[in-house]
Amino acid sequence: MNRNFKELLKNCEKRVYTFQKDGYSYQEEYEYYELQRYIKCNIHGSLKDERLGGSVEVYIRIDNLTREHTSGFGYLEVILDRWNKGIGTALMKDVFSVIKELKEYFNVHDTVRLTGWLFITDKINGNWSRSVPFYEKVGIKTGTKTEFKIKNTGRIIERADEFLREVGDSEGTVIYHICS
């Protein structure tokens, strides 16, 4: 997919791209906030010919991307009756694709750390038992180095099961290392 970042940044207007790939339908909604040099992207995905499936948000502060080599994602949600149909994985692959295209557009050659928060409320309600192993699986499927960081200690762990054992009452983050 060739996203037109030049036009987005030049005109500071909302952009929407709709496309299909590998049996999934996608809609990407971009907004650029010029004063903050910030791009927000909402990605919606579904199985081909279905209306709903899931969504995820991507956050890119241009200065952080180009200087610190960081970006973020959040609010990955897949409708319950669409679980285990590949929609979450497809959405995360698209997130990686967005970051890779932005790296190319801004001429960033170093690895970018794409970080997503793991909130304690999701641990309490049991979501971590599914989401943390899922994030690890996405990294394995895409060949992307994946780490988990415990917020209270700063400890970085490479395996989901070890993170779940060690995290205690802390929040955490999942970190993907996005190369070219």
- What are the pLDDT digits (tens) for 17-72? 898 888 899 999 999 998 889 999 999 999 877 777 999 999 999 999 999 999 99
42, 29 Cβ separation under 8 angstroms: yes
What tokens were used for 15?
A: 């952009």
pLDDT tens digits, 111-168: 999 999 999 999 999 999 999 999 999 999 999 999 999 999 999 999 999 999 999 9
The correct CATH number of 111-180 out of 3.30.1490, 1.10.3210, 3.40.50, 1.20.1530 is 3.30.1490
Residue of 107, 108, 130, 128 whose CA lies nearest to 119: 128
Residue partners of 60: CB distance under 8 A and separation at least 6:
38, 39, 40, 41, 71, 72, 99, 102
Alpha carbon distance, N-terminus to C-terminus of the chain: 15
pTM: 0.93
